[in-house]
């Protein structure tokens, strides 16, 4: 860390303490943002942990749907987003209006929505899921058919692990979805002793090559539980920093240097300082939408 960044880091920490703010960072954020944060994790994990704190302010270093999730779960806290321009292409691939129409076309079957979605889409969904619990959520529903949105690859992964009919939404993460079998095989050849761990947002032919399929937090746990000491990570390259800090005795390789999400890299230390100083970038969710979205999230959290 440069001297300038180190000074700014300390200034932000002091200001956050004075304002009773907690700083959250997603596992894909730049290394200096992860190192600054009070809590790092996946999108839902961050918000659940924040809800359990006594902080007055949540600074969410991630993309917009993550800040919205924090606002859904923490209505009594102020949620600030340091860079409001950080969005998610996959979350933008579904609108509440289009989802309602599609549900009607399918006869009103349950809608399972990935947490990587807007609050408005969550609000017209029956239940949410994460990449870690999607199979459990699908199997917990009594219906024989479900509609999953917005990620088709996550839906295909769920369909392969359940006897239910899963209708797909044609959304995807542009970066996970572009990972090719050739790129995976090249990385495996370069690191023959490493296990390949893939995110379920990857295409099915890539998942077939995986030694394990895990969410970002699941990858960190898997690496700790495994006897292997080398791993190829089939997800956004930002996780390399988080997982290396958690398991410094092990070695991690990105499956491809192309798996970089520009939106996840938009937040800078100065952005965090500015939003705390000016209380700018506040993210709110209209209460009728928040309550409906909260119900979908709560159903997921309570799924056994």
The larger pLDDT score, comparing residue 300 to residue 51, is at: 300
**Whether residue 48 is found in the same domain as residue 15:** yes
Three-state DSSP class for residue 44: helix
For residue 1, the model assigns a pLDDT of: 63
**Whether residue 11 is found in the same domain as residue 76:** yes
Q: How many CA atoms lie within 13 A of 87 on its CB side?
A: 8
**Residue 166 to residue 145: CA distance in whole angstroms:** 6
With 90 as the cut, is the pLDDT of residue 303 above it? no
For the segment 105-159, what is each residue's pLDDT rounded down to a tens digit? 999 999 999 999 999 999 999 999 999 999 999 999 999 999 999 999 999 999 9
**Whether residue 55 is found in the same domain as residue 82:** yes
Q: Supply 52's token pair.
A: 């359990």
CATH code assigned at 282:
3.40.50.10800
**Residue 3 to residue 197: CA distance in whole angstroms:** 36
**Residue 9 to residue 270: CA distance in whole angstroms:** 9
Q: Supply 291's token pair.
A: 């309550």
In a domain, 201, yes or no: yes
Q: Supply 230's token pair.
A: 């080398």
In a domain, 9, yes or no: yes
Cα distances (angstroms) measured from residue 297 to each of 24, 101, 157, 195, 294 = 19, 21, 21, 33, 5
| Residue with token string 């806290």 | 77
- pLDDT tier for residue 62 given thresholds of 50, 70 and 90: very high
Domain that holds residue 7: 3-88+264-286
**Whether residue 243 is found in the same domain as residue 268:** no
With 80 as the cut, is the pLDDT of residue 2 above it? no
User: Among residues 158, 167, 169, which one has the least CA distance to residue 200?
Assistant: 158
DSSP string for 80-112: E-S-TT---TTGGG--HHHHHHHHHHTTS--EE
The alpha helices in the chain, defined as continuous H runs, are 3-18, 31-36, 43-51, 64-73, 96-105, 119-123, 134-140, 152-160, 174-177, 181-190, 204-207, 216-225, 239-246, 269-278, 287-301
Looking at every residue in the chain, the average pLDDT score rounds to: 95
With 70 as the cut, is the pLDDT of residue 248 above it? yes
- pLDDT tier for residue 4 given thresholds of 50, 70 and 90: confident
Residue 114 near residue 88, CB atoms below 8 Å: no
**Whether residue 8 is found in the same domain as residue 83:** yes
**Whether residue 274 is found in the same domain as residue 203:** no
Domain count, the chain: 2
For the segment 187-204, what is each residue's pLDDT rounded down to a tens digit? 999 999 999 999 999 999
- pLDDT tier for residue 50 given thresholds of 50, 70 and 90: confident
Mean pLDDT throughout 244-266? 97
For residue 37, the model assigns a pLDDT of: 96
In a domain, 151, yes or no: no
In a domain, 114, yes or no: no
| CB-based contacts of 224, cutoff 8 Å, min separation 6 | 246, 247
In a domain, 70, yes or no: yes
In a domain, 27, yes or no: yes
In a domain, 104, yes or no: no
With 80 as the cut, is the pLDDT of residue 237 above it? yes
**Whether residue 233 is found in the same domain as residue 249:** yes
- pLDDT tier for residue 27 given thresholds of 50, 70 and 90: very high
Residue 268 near residue 65, CB atoms below 8 Å: no
- pLDDT tier for residue 48 given thresholds of 50, 70 and 90: confident
End-to-end CA distance of the chain: 43
In a domain, 113, yes or no: no
For residue 46, the model assigns a pLDDT of: 78
**Residue 252 to residue 204: CA distance in whole angstroms:** 23
| CB-based contacts of 18, cutoff 8 Å, min separation 6 | none
Mean pLDDT throughout 33-50? 85
For residue 32, the model assigns a pLDDT of: 96
The larger pLDDT score, comparing residue 105 to residue 302, is at: 105
Q: Supply 17's token pair.
A: 């303490």
| CB-based contacts of 167, cutoff 8 Å, min separation 6 | 106, 109, 145, 146, 147, 148, 155
Mean pLDDT throughout 206-211? 98
**Whether residue 231 is found in the same domain as residue 268:** no
- pTM of the predicted model, to two decimals? 0.94
**Whether residue 218 is found in the same domain as residue 270:** no
């Amino acid at each position: 860390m440069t001297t300038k960044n180190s000074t700014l880091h300390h200034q932000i920490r002091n200001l956050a303490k004075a304002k009773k703010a907690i700083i959250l960072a997603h596992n894909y954020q730049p290394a200096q943002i992860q190192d600054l944060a009070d809590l790092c994790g996946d999108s839902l994990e961050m918000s659940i942990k924040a809800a359990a704190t006594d902080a007055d302010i949540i600074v969410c270093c991630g993309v917009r749907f993550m800040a919205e999730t924090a606002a859904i779960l923490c209505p009594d806290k102020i949620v600030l987003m340091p860079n409001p321009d950080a969005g998610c292409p996959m979350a933008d691939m579904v609108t509440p209006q289009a989802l309602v129409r599609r549900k009607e076309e399918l006869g009103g079957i349950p809608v399972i929505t990935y947490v990587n979605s807007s609050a408005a889409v969550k609000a017209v969904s029956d239940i949410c899921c994460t990449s870690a619990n999607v199979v459990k959520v699908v199997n917990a529903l009594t219906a024989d058919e479900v509609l999953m949105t917005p990620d088709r690859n996550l839906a295909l992964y769920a369909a392969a692990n359940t006897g239910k009919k899963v209708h797909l939404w044609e959304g995807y993460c542009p970066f996970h979805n572009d990972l090719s079998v050739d790129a995976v095989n090249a990385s495996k050849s370069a690191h023959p002793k490493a296990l390949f761990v893939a995110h379920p947002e990857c295409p099915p032919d890539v998942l077939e090559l995986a030694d394990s399929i895990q969410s970002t937090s699941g990858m960190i746990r898997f690496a700790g539980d495994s006897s292997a000491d080398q791993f190829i990570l089939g997800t956004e390259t930002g996780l390399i920093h988080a997982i290396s800090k958690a398991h410094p005795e092990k070695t991690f390789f990105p499956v491809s240097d192309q798996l970089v999400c520009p939106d996840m890299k938009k937040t800078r230390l100065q952005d965090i300082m500015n939003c705390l100083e000016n209380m700018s970038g506040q993210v709110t969710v209209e209460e009728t939408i928040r309550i409906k979205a909260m119900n979908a999230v709560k159903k997921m959290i309570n799924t056994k």
